[in-house]
Structure 1
Amino acid sequence: MSVLYITTQGAYLRSQAGRYVVTHQDQEITAVPEVAVEGVVLMGNIQVSTHATQALLDAGIPLIYLTRNGRFRGLLQPGYPRNAAVRLAQYEAALDTDFALAVARRLIDAKIQGEIDVLRKWRRNGWLVGDDPVDDLTDLRRTLDDRVVLSDLVGLEAAAARRYFQGLGAALPPPFVWAGRHRRPPTDPVNALLSLTYMMVVGEAISACYAAALDPLIGFLHQLDYGRPSLALDLIEPLRANGCDHLVMRLLQAETLTADDFVHGDNGCRLSEDAMRRYLTHYESFARSARGGRAALRTAVTRLARGLAKAVRDREPLVIDTSMEGPE
C-alpha cells in the first residue's frame, strides 16, 4: 500500500468501480485500486468528489491538504479520537512543569543524537570532509541535564542546530551552498527542500497525533501559539536530521534534483512541477523504506506519537526509538 499524491493543478479525484481515478480536463491521469491506497495527499487546487470522500472515510484513509508548495493546510481524518482520557492526560501533563521539561529534554537529546548520527553517516559516505561538528555536538549533549528551565534547553538546542548546519553546509555538493536557514520564504534550493520535507513530515505527525488520540496543538518543547501544531513539531524533532535532512542530502548528492529543478519568484524558491513529482516519488519511497530491522520514517513518526501517548497516560519517562533508517 502507498500514499496517492496529486499535484496537477485543477485535477479531479473520484471513486469508480473500486478505483481512485484522477482526471484533468476530462483526461485520465492515473487510476489505482482503492485497496492499494493508505493515504491521499492533495497539493494545491485539487477537487474531490463526494463519493471519493466517502470511500476514503469508510476505509479509514486520511485525506491531507497541502499548498502547492507543500505547506500543511488541513486534514480530513476518518472518525474521531475515541480515547478522551489520553487527551485529558496530555493537557494535565503539559501543565506539569517538571514533566513537560523532562519530555522537552528527551526530545532535544534525541534530536542532537540524530544530528551526530547523520553527520557520521555523511562522513562515511565521503560527503563531509574537513570540519567535523560531532565533538562539539557531543559536548553540548552532555550538558542537557544541567538545563533546568525550558528557555535554557531551547538555547542549547539552537546552539547545537547552528553547529550542525555548519556540517550540513560542508557536506553539500556543488553548486549548492549553505547561507543559513531561511524559512519564510525559502530563498535557495537547499532551504526550499528542507522546508518542503519538514512540512511533509509535520503532516504525517499531525495524522499520527490524531491516531494516537493526542491533540497536535498542545506541545511540550514547542509552546502554545495560535494555530501552530506544537506537538506535531515536537514529534518531528528527533527525525529532522537522520530523516528529513538525510533525504535532502541524498537527492542532491545523487543529482536526482539539480539547480535547474528550482524556480525563483516573489514567494521564494521552490521546485518546478516536474521536479516536485520526482521529489514526491523519492519521499514516499524513503518514508516507507526500512532496512536491517530499523523503522521507516512514517513508522518512526507513528511510534513516537504512540510512545508519547503512553508517557502522558502513565506519567512515565518518554522512550524515543530513533532507530529509523532509509537507504544510505
Structure 2
Amino acid sequence: MKTHLNTLFVTLDGTYLAKDGQAVVVRQDKQTKLRVPLHNLDGIMCFGRVSVSPSLMGACAAGGVSISFLTPYGKFLASVIGFSPGNVLLRRQQYRAADDDQLAASAARSIILGKLVNCRTVFRRAARDATDPHRIERLQATANRLGANIIDVKAASNLDRLRGLEGEAATSYFGAFNDLINTSDSAFEYTRRTKRPPKDPLNALLSFVYALLSHDARSACEAAGLDAAVGMLHRDRPGRPGMALDLMEEFRPFLADRLVLSLINRRQVSASGFEYLETGAVRMDDSTRKTILVAYQVRKQEPITHPFLGERTSVGLLIHLQARLMARWLRGDLETYPPFAWK
C-alpha cells in the first residue's frame, strides 16, 4: 500500500530547487529557505518561474517523486517522471480495453455513475445543512434530477450515449451551482464554466484545484502501472492524460468542488485576492494561492473509510486506491470497475 506522503508546492517566482544529499533544497536569492528529505515527498508542483536542477530531476525520477510544472494560474505544462513500475502486460490489456467499445463502455459507465452519485451527495448534504426552505427545495430538486441521470446512465451501454448523459448531468449540476454558494459576494457567482483562461474568481478557483487533482491522478496512474494517457471515458488526444482524467471524474465533486465551496462559504478567500487582467483572465494572488494549497493538503490528510474496500485510509490516498482497482479490473480480477461513491 502506498504511504501518504507530502506534496511540495513552490509558488514564488525565481525559486531554485536543487539536490543536496538525499534532500530537496529550496533557494531564493541564493539563500536556502527550506530543506525537505526526498523520502518524505511523493510530488513537487512548481507554479510560475521555478527552476529545478538536473540532478534533482534525476533523483526524483529514480525515487518515484513526480515533478509538475504549471503556470501561475495552475495550467499544467509538463511533468518529470521516472520509468513506470507497471508491467507491460497490464498496459497492453489497458490498450486492448480502450479499443474495445464494450469494455470501455463498462468502465466509463462506472466512472460516470461514481461522479453523478457524488454530485448528488453534494446537493443532498447542502440541502440537509440549509435553513432557507426555498433553497432546500431547489437543492433537493437538483439532487432528484441527478438521480434520474443516474438511472439513465445505468441503462446505457453505448460510449457516445454515456458521454452525452454525462454532459447533460454536468449541465444540471453547474446550472444549480449557485445554490451551493452561501455568500453575498457577487464575485463568486457562477455564470458559466470558463477554463483557458478562467474569466472570474470562481472559475479560477475551480481550475486551480482541478490542476492539483490532475497532478495526483497522474501520480496514481504511474504508481499503479497504468498509462496515464489512455482512458476509457476520455478519448485519446495528443497531450491529454485520458486515464488520469477518468480517475479524476469521481473526485471532482467530492474533493475539488467541495473544497472550493468550503473556501468561499467560510470566507477563507475573498474577491480582493484576485486580479483582473487586460486579457480578460482572472489571476489569484500569492496569498490566496497559498490558502488553497494548505486547505488542499489538510483535506487530503483527513481519514475516511473506502466504501468498496472497507479499509480506513486518507482522502489523499483514495485516488491511488481507485487506480489500483482499475488495474485489478483490467487484469480480470474484478468483474466491473468499482467507482468511489461517497455517501
TM-score norm. by structure 1 comes to: 0.92
Match of 1:288 in 2: 301
Deviations 1:272-305 (A, max 9, x none): 1221122111111112322467643421111111
Give the conservation status (yes or no) of the 8 Å contact 1:110–1:320: yes
1:292-307 correspondence runs (5 A): 295-307=313-325
Among candidates 145, 149, 156, match of residue 154 of structure 2: 145
Equivalent residue of 1:101, what SS? helix
CA shift, 1:168, in A, is 2.0
Between 31-40 and 62-71, report the one with greater CA deviation: 31-40
Match of 1:222 in 2: 234
State the alpha-carbon separation in 1 of the partners of residues 48 and 136 from structure 2: 40
Equivalent residue of 2:338, what SS? coil
**Residue 166 (str. 1) matches residue 179 (str. 2):** no
State the alpha-carbon separation in 2 of the partners of residues 203 and 238 from structure 1: 15
**Counterpart residue identity of residue 237, structure 2:** D
**Residue 31 (str. 1) matches residue 35 (str. 2):** yes
Equivalent residue of 2:24, what SS? strand
Match of 2:289 in 1: 276
Match of 1:103 in 2: 107
State the alpha-carbon separation in 2 of the partners of residues 255 and 106 from structure 1: 35
Change (3 A) 1:145 1:19: closer
Give the conservation status (yes or no) of the 8 Å contact 2:68–2:79: yes
CA shift, 1:130, in A, is 4.1
Give the conservation status (yes or no) of the 8 Å contact 2:113–2:154: no
CA shift, 1:163, in A, is 1.1
**Residue 242 (str. 1) matches residue 254 (str. 2):** yes
Match of 2:308 in 1: none
Deviations 1:121-169 (A, max 9, x none): 2223338644120111111211223323222111211111111113321
Give the conservation status (yes or no) of the 8 Å contact 1:239–1:322: no
Among candidates 5, 8, 31, match of residue 4 of structure 1: 8
Unaligned runs of 5+ in 1: none
Give the conservation status (yes or no) of the 8 Å contact 1:223–1:230: yes
Deviations 1:46-75 (A, max 9, x none): 112234334433433222222221122222
Give the conservation status (yes or no) of the 8 Å contact 2:112–2:250: yes
Unaligned runs of 5+ in 2: 306-310
State the alpha-carbon separation in 2 of the partners of residues 58 and 158 from structure 1: 40
1:1-328 correspondence runs (5 A): 1-16=5-20, 18-126=22-130, 129-132=136-139, 133-172=142-181, 173-175=183-185, 176-265=188-277, 266=279, 268-291=281-304, 295-314=313-332, 316-323=335-342
Deviations 1:216-239 (A, max 9, x none): 111111111221111111111111
Give the conservation status (yes or no) of the 8 Å contact 1:22–1:28: yes
Between 80-89 and 141-150, report the one with greater CA deviation: 141-150
Change (3 A) 1:320 1:95: same
Give the conservation status (yes or no) of the 8 Å contact 2:23–2:37: yes
CA shift, 1:257, in A, is 0.8
State the alpha-carbon separation in 2 of the partners of residues 60 and 185 from structure 1: 31
Change (3 A) 1:83 1:110: same
Give the conservation status (yes or no) of the 8 Å contact 2:8–2:43: yes
**Counterpart residue identity of residue 90, structure 1:** Q
State the alpha-carbon separation in 2 of the partners of residues 161 and 323 from structure 1: 18
Q: How much identity, in percent, do the aligned residues show?
A: 29
State the alpha-carbon separation in 1 of the partners of residues 283 and 301 from structure 2: 24
Give the conservation status (yes or no) of the 8 Å contact 2:86–2:222: no
CA shift, 1:17, in A, is 5.3
How many pairs are equivalent? 324
CA shift, 1:21, in A, is 2.0
Give the conservation status (yes or no) of the 8 Å contact 1:62–1:207: yes
**Counterpart residue identity of residue 319, structure 1:** P
State the alpha-carbon separation in 1 of the partners of residues 41 and 314 from structure 2: 18
Change (3 A) 1:190 1:240: same
Equivalent residue of 1:223, what SS? coil
